[in-house]
Structure 1
Amino acid sequence: MSSGQLPRWVDFGLIPALNLMAAFLVSGLVVLLIGESPIEVVKILIWGSLGFGEGIGFTLFNATSFIFTGLAVAVAFHAGLFNIGGEGQAYVGGLGVAFACLMLDSYVPWWVTLPFAVMGGALFGAAWAFIPAWLQATRGSHIVITTIMFNFIGAALMGYLLVDVISKPGSMQPETRTFEAGGQLPLLDDLLPGDFFGTSQVNLSLVIALLCCVFVWILIWRTRLGYEIRTFGANPTAAIYAGISPARIIIVTMMISGGLAGLMAINEIMGAQHRLLIEFVAGYGFVGIAVALMGRAHPVGIVLSAVLFGMLYQGGAELAFEIPAITRDMIVVIQGLVILFAGALEYMFRPALVQLFNFSSAPSKAAG
């Protein structure tokens, strides 16, 4: 093992687990400071998210959105790009989903509308990511700055459209009309026997999210384009020397990333709200950054970390109800600590682990 390298099980398993333990340890100290029991808090958090069918349903519903945005960030990561525009790309992607539903919902069943909604969400999200990608590829504009700016531009654009252009006639609410049955995805409870998930809104978009995980795995690790993306992300100079076009990789990767973010709107717009409304993204795009970091930009890790954040969202709601001293703001603090340790302090434990594994392998090297 060379200096700085770690076994894959340490890099992709142990380090994220240590980061998560550190986040919950600090969160436990905060809970102690306000006079509550951390053990009781953990019990309620787990029970509220996984202890009954409805809680599991809401956990999976939140996790579905996190999978889409986490995959979007992960694809860009592999090219060495930091796409912080998932929020805006998902927002504009909702416009593509809504257009498909508004045009078809009165004439065809949902399973005919769904492919057009998927294409609309992906195309609108990809188009919103294309402009920052083109600016970096051709003008040298930094992708972080431009994608952040486009989040606000997308929010302003959607506000204008929902108030003055596509709002429901006669309504003062910034939203479209409610979709007919042809524009509503079925809930999983409608497709499975029984009523396990209760009133939760987990719907067929969960299956679409898992299919996107398979797509990303094949794209990144089993295609020529994926190899070029990973090569460019690892060493742009070597990639250029090998004949890989930086402009093409930047634009194509960001459009794929934006398309995945745009698909998040399927879960919220077509699966739950059944209309396009203001601020439906609700921060999912930013949390997707932490999901991708904690999942090490791998689809399997992203699914696991998305479920974790889904548990924090759903379990946090139950926790705020059961223990009034633990407010929603306190839950946001816990989520923020997880993001801090998974993102900003991602490599806090790495130097010590590298020294430990190098020390443990030194006797075997000497004997060899």
Structure 2
Amino acid sequence: MSETSHTPPGTVQPVAPGEAKPDTTQPRSNKVLAEILNSSIVISILAVVLAMVVGAILIALTDPKVHTAAGYFFARPGDTIAAVWQSATGAYGALFQGSIYNFKRPDFLNGIRPLTETLTFATPLILAGLGVGLAFRVGMFNIGGRGQMLIAAACAGWVGFTLDLPPVVHLLVAIAAGIIGGAFWGGIVGVLKARTGAHEVIITIMLNYVAFYLITFMLSTQGLLQAPGSNVPKSAAMAPNSVLPKLLGDRYNLHAGFLIAILAVVFVWWLFSRSSIGFRFRAVGENPNAARVAGIDVKNTYVYAMLLSGGLIGLAGVSQVLGTVTSGFDNGIDAGIGFDAITVALLGRSRPGGILIAGILFGALKAGGYSMQATQGVNVPIDIVLVLQALIVLFIAAPPLVRAIFFLPKPDGSTRRTRRSAKKEVSA
């Protein structure tokens, strides 16, 4: 007869040597708190905060007033600390006044103008970020935003200053031309990847150069994109019927492209959450081999994803040429947005809501950067905004670094103290 061991109630099972004891004493509230602290939203917020702190240190290090006060630090250390504080708070105060609300303006309508500028800068960033984020979620790295924006801007701009159509029809046709142009340039990448196996990073980089020099040639050639009778490589001004209307009147630059960006956010959310093609996108992005076994056409999915990605990025070019720069465009119409969109998509975790918030944040950095430089003079270079963006990307890409700096628990819920005690138990 086999022996059966009965463990009396309340006793603890023995643990084999080298095996850590199971954690049975951790309250459920601690586990919930650990899940919250390790969420992507909290990590992203802390990454932005950390980037702002490092940025403040860099601003102070480049300020001549801080250098002067540091020269007699040991005699009067308070002056150095005060100079550092004034340098950082002055720069970020100017950043706030240039991007959110300017308290120095006489009335509310003038004071709120910086916020409208932030939303204007954010509009193409949101649209391009949605396109890049969509490709990310399908497992593709679309860094061809510059080329897709240039082609879309050329298509929408040509319709805008060449055709003579009724007001609403003209605008809709120009927007559609831009979407088709961006989708076509992105679709080339999808087709080449699906049919030949070429890597999308290499293709998009090459197509960026092709688009840039193609648009440069067209802007320098009469009868194509160059303004009639002009020797400058620039297009003609957009017809009034093709211009995106201003949302808050002529005193503000915010145009209807921002509403298009909001609709695009809703569309991408619906695409991934409610549509069958969105399910295929997510499946291919998670595991293309498993998706292929499940009967999903992975190659065509790549093509559809790049068509949609290019179309969304093309909308960013449309908002630039029909909303922001309506007096004519040149080969710099993309304004670096195609590459900034990669940062926006990373910060937003490729989720529509996150991309919306990240786009507004980066729009605030762009709008407030000029005000920061103008207010603080030469003490704060405009390049500090680029440094902040780079720092945000750095910390977003390194969640363990953020957890270590803020003493956050690891994703398994363990903290430094619990891991240290577990090591002691194992060694014992």
TM-score (normalizing by structure 2): 0.77
Question: Does structure 1 retain, via aligned residues, the 8 Å contact 2:35–2:411?
Answer: no
Question: Does structure 1 retain, via aligned residues, the 8 Å contact 2:182–2:313?
Answer: yes
Deviates more, 1:351-360 or 1:72-81: 351-360
Structure 1 residues 8 and 221, CA gap change in structure 2 (3 angstroms): farther
Question: Deviation of residue 347 (structure 1)?
Answer: 5.4
1:108 equivalent in alignment to 2:108 = no
1:330 equivalent in alignment to 2:358 = no
Question: Deviation of residue 217 (structure 1)?
Answer: 0.5
Aligned mates of 1:31, 1:150 — CA distance in 2: 37
Question: Does structure 1 retain, via aligned residues, the 8 Å contact 2:395–2:402?
Answer: no
Aligned mates of 1:293, 1:152 — CA distance in 2: 24
Q: 1:254 maps to what in 2? A: 306
Question: Deviation of residue 28 (structure 1)?
Answer: 1.1
Listed as ranges, the matches of 1:87-106 within 5 Å are 87-104=146-163, 106=164
SS in 2 for 1:358: coil
Question: Does structure 1 retain, via aligned residues, the 8 Å contact 2:37–2:409?
Answer: no
Structure 1 residues 7 and 87, CA gap change in structure 2 (3 angstroms): farther
Q: 1:281 maps to what in 2? A: 334
Q: 1:317 maps to what in 2? A: 370
1:26 equivalent in alignment to 2:54 = yes
Structure 1 residues 136 and 305, CA gap change in structure 2 (3 angstroms): same
Aligned mates of 1:139, 1:293 — CA distance in 2: 28
Q: 2:402 maps to what in 1? A: 349
Aligned mates of 2:386, 2:287 — CA distance in 1: 37
Identity %: 32
Letter in 2 for 1:72: G
Q: 1:156 maps to what in 2? A: 213
SS in 1 for 2:359: helix
Structure 1 residues 314 and 258, CA gap change in structure 2 (3 angstroms): same
Instruction: For CA contacts below 8 A with separation 6 or more, give which structure has more relative contact order.
Output: 1
Report Cα offsets for 1:9-55 as digits up to 9, x if no partner.
Answer: 74231010111111111111101111352122111111110012221
Deviates more, 1:20-29 or 1:35-44: 35-44
Aligned mates of 2:268, 2:36 — CA distance in 1: 20
Question: Deviation of residue 313 (structure 1)?
Answer: 0.4
Q: 1:366 maps to what in 2? A: none
Name whichever structure is richer in helix by fraction. Answer: 1
Aligned mates of 2:301, 2:113 — CA distance in 1: 43
Report Cα offsets for 1:257-315 as digits up to 9, x if no partner.
Answer: 00000011222111122233221111011111111111111111111111100110011
Aligned mates of 2:88, 2:254 — CA distance in 1: 29
Question: Deviation of residue 8 (structure 1)?
Answer: 6.7
Aligned mates of 1:8, 1:289 — CA distance in 2: 26
Deviates more, 1:208-217 or 1:111-120: 111-120
SS in 2 for 1:175: coil
Structure 1 residues 116 and 9, CA gap change in structure 2 (3 angstroms): farther
Larger Rg over CA atoms: 2
Aligned mates of 1:228, 1:183 — CA distance in 2: 36
Aligned mates of 1:269, 1:88 — CA distance in 2: 15
94, 97, 101: which one pairs with 1:44? 94
Report Cα offsets for 1:72-124 as digits up to 9, x if no partner.
Answer: 011101101110011110111111211221243x4411x22222122111111
Letter in 2 for 1:114: L
Structure 1 residues 276 and 8, CA gap change in structure 2 (3 angstroms): farther
Gaps of 5+ in 1: 363-368
288, 301, 305: which one pairs with 2:354? 301
Aligned mates of 2:341, 2:35 — CA distance in 1: 26
Aligned mates of 1:219, 1:288 — CA distance in 2: 20
Q: 1:136 maps to what in 2? A: 193
Report Cα offsets for 1:55-74 as digits up to 9, x if no partner.
Answer: 11110101001011100011
Question: Deviation of residue 346 (structure 1)?
Answer: 5.0
Instruction: State the aligned residue count.
Output: 348
Q: 1:266 maps to what in 2? A: 318
Gaps of 5+ in 2: 1-27, 64-83, 102-110, 419-428
Q: Please tell me the root mean square deviation across aligned C-alpha atoms, in Å.
A: 2.1
Aligned mates of 2:403, 2:304 — CA distance in 1: 32
Q: 2:13 maps to what in 1? A: none
Aligned mates of 1:14, 1:102 — CA distance in 2: 46
TM-score (normalizing by structure 1): 0.89
Question: Deviation of residue 338 (structure 1)?
Answer: 2.4
Q: 1:358 maps to what in 2? A: 413
22, 42, 57: which one pairs with 1:14? 42
SS in 2 for 1:203: coil
Question: Does structure 1 retain, via aligned residues, the 8 Å contact 2:148–2:186?
Answer: yes
Deviating runs (4+, > 4 A) in structure 1? 350-354
